[in-house]
Amino acid sequence: MTASDGAAPDLVWFRHDLRLSDHAALLAAIRSRRPVIPVYILDDSAGDNWRTGCAARWWLHRSLSALTAALEATRSRLILRRGAWDDILSALVRETGAASVHAGRLYEPWADAKDRAIAAALPVPLHLHRTTTLFDPSSMRTRLGTPFTGYTPFVRACLAGDTPAPPEAPPKHIPAPATWPRSDTLTAFELQPSDPDLPRALAAVWTPGEDGARRRLATFMDSALDHYDTGRARLGAGGTSMLSPHLRWGEVSPATVWHAAATAAGHRGPGLEAFQKEMLWREFAIHLLRHHPDLPDTPLRSTFTRFPWRHDPDDLRAWQEGRTGYPIVDAGMRQLRRAGWMHNRVRMIVASFLVKHLLLPWQDGARWFWERLVDADLASNSASWQWVVGLGSGSAPYFRVFNPVLQGERFDADGSYVRQYVPELARLPDAFLHRPWEAPADVLKNADVILGETYPVPIVNHTAARVRALDAYAPFGRPDA
């Protein structure tokens, strides 16, 4: 028997912070010197109409499994429950006689009201901690006291303030309660995708959980960080950190990543600076969502609610399934389906293609990404789509239309990315890989490509689509006009 046995426990409610290291809520509970009961509650109604997508649910399943194992290694447990957050928490407090609840704060539009309601309903205090961001997205303000609208001033403010606090080590010991409440099984969460092939494809790329995150971070530090400023343009694996899903689920804290990078980059070079600025895009998106609750659905420029989006289910489906006839677009969309992830450069290319070449609503693209990305995050996803359409201040101007051929040739010059995800084009020579419709008949024949049969003819002509997009967007003008 330890001193803590029999005392009222604290609940540590895990949400978007599925880790033991640098976890402010967990550490606060341990410092209270009470027994700790770690809890995860699956509430499918919590995200309003943004229920966790299928790829992200796969990730969550694996991450919860990893967190359970990590807690059991410290002789603790993870209590799983399915149901409404407030109901389950009230029940758990009642069952366990908990003295308080500690959790990481969320910044989604619905989170505040929900947490306030929970706090009001609970007979014990709900303590919220910052576990998912480097800076506090609520308190950051311009000199005028207004929220930031542009990325650059936001970055200046981040870098002018105190550097993020260094991460804290994981607890060596998590005091256990005398008795554990009952737990659902992970299987009962029904997080596995209906497509039986998806888990194998995802598992080939990803290792969800804190250990997987730590390995991914270490690999990135060793191999790519120093040249990140130029190397991230490479579309094949190895140029980027691929930490986004680990950060999304909080398997590693942003402070851990930030400080690891700053320490590992032996010389403070452009690689480190570029990487930290990417992390600040993530913070900026959270800041934006914090102050624009309708960011996921509603254009930041209200005039765009009247934009004449086309409605063409066939074109939308061709885009989703990666058969637009533009190899770089199709490669990206197929990487999304197979790996639950896409290189950021390609996200911009395919997004531009949807909203410019096809004139289809960005909300449809955002929804598809939401369903298919393992790193699907409401803030980053929404902000990025708005950025591509040209809706935020400082975002892409309306006349910026990516040419998928030039982008492919510039960033996938050796064709390895397209060949990996569009294997039916693999035997085309580099000169025609990104423009198969221009290949002479004998070149196509030698590569076993039959346009319109083994690979689609482009669903739109680039030049015509570009003109159409410029005509459609011009009346809506510049983003900051």
Residues labelled catalytic: 278, 281, 309, 344, 362, 385
Query: Of 401, 449, 460, 465, which one interacts with DNA (CB under 7 A)?
Result: 401
Q: Which of 435, 352, 364 is nearest to 399 (CA)?
A: 352
Query: Of 406, 431, 450, 457, which one interacts with DNA (CB under 7 A)?
Result: 406
Q: Which of 9, 12, 6 is nearest to 34 (CA)?
A: 9
CB of 470 to DNA, least distance (A): 4
- Containing 286, the helix (H) or strand (E) segment is helix 270-291
CB of 414 to DNA, least distance (A): 18
Query: Of 44, 263, 317, 399, which one interacts with DNA (CB under 7 A)?
Result: 399
Residue that has been written with the tokens 């969550």 in this structure: 60
Q: Which of 181, 182, 180, 202 is nearest to 191 (CA)?
A: 202
Cβ proximity to DNA, 151 vs 220, nearer residue: 151
Pair 252, 292: CB distance under 8 Å? no
Pair 105, 128: CB distance under 8 Å? yes
Cβ proximity to DNA, 401 vs 449, nearer residue: 401
Query: Does 466 sit near DNA (CB under 7 A)?
Result: yes
Query: Does 156 sit near DNA (CB under 7 A)?
Result: no
Cβ proximity to DNA, 177 vs 239, nearer residue: 239
CB of 407 to DNA, least distance (A): 5
Q: Which of residues 330-369 bind DNA (CB under 7 A)?
A: 344-345, 348
Distance of alpha carbon 398 from the chain centroid: 25
CA distances in angstroms from 316 to 128, 141, 358, 402, 473, listed in the order given: 41, 39, 8, 18, 19
Alpha-carbon span 420 to 236, nearest angstrom = 9
Query: Does 462 sit near DNA (CB under 7 A)?
Result: yes
Phi-psi region of 186 (alpha: psi -120 to 50; beta: other; left: phi over 0): alpha
Query: Does 403 sit near DNA (CB under 7 A)?
Result: yes
Cβ proximity to DNA, 183 vs 344, nearer residue: 344
Alpha-carbon span 252 to 270, nearest angstrom = 23
Cβ proximity to DNA, 77 vs 282, nearer residue: 282
Tokens found for residue 347: 């996200």
**b/e string for 424-439 if b means 16 or more Cβ within 10 A?**
bbbebeeebbbbbbeb
Query: Of 241, 382, 386, 407, which one interacts with DNA (CB under 7 A)?
Result: 407
Where does this chain touch DNA (CB under 7 A) — which range of 62-70, 103-111, 393-401, 438-446?
Answer: 393-401
Where does this chain touch DNA (CB under 7 A) — which range of 54-62, 237-245, 307-315, 400-408?
Answer: 400-408
Query: Does 281 sit near DNA (CB under 7 A)?
Result: yes
Alpha-carbon span 6 to 246, nearest angstrom = 36
Query: Does 474 sit near DNA (CB under 7 A)?
Result: yes
Query: Does 464 sit near DNA (CB under 7 A)?
Result: no
The residues of the shown chain that bind DNA, judged by CB under 7 A, are 151, 278, 281, 344-345, 348, 396-397, 399-403, 406-407, 410, 462-463, 466, 470, 474
